Amino acid sequence: MDLNTIRSLETLALFVLFLVLIYLLYRKTNDKTFEEAANLPFVGDETSTEIITKQKEGDDHE
């Protein structure tokens, strides 16, 4: 087997892997998973808002 044949097969395998990953990312069944992941940075904002509100009101938070 020639070295160029091996390189061509490797390139083809990586391209097929790329297409499979694109398919898995864009199928409709993952919408809920991606929705939850998109909202992760906002988890805990309610607690932060409560602490800031109490500090502005003058309550002792210690």
Domain containing residue 11: 3-57
In a domain, 28, yes or no: yes
Residue with the larger pLDDT of the pair 58 and 32? 32
Residue 21 pLDDT greater than 90, yes or no = yes
Let me know if residue 10 belongs to a domain. Answer: yes
pLDDT score, position 53: 73
Kind plus residue range of the DSSP H or E element containing 49: helix 45-57
Q: How many domains does the chain have?
A: 1
Q: What is the pLDDT of residues 28-43, one digit of tens each?
A: 776 777 788 888 887 7
Report which residue type is found at 17: L
Pick from 36, 41, 61: which is nearest to 50 by CA? 61
Residue 62 belongs to a domain: no
Average pLDDT, stretch 32-60?
A: 72
* Cβ contact 61:54 at 8 Å: yes
pLDDT surpasses 90 at 8: yes
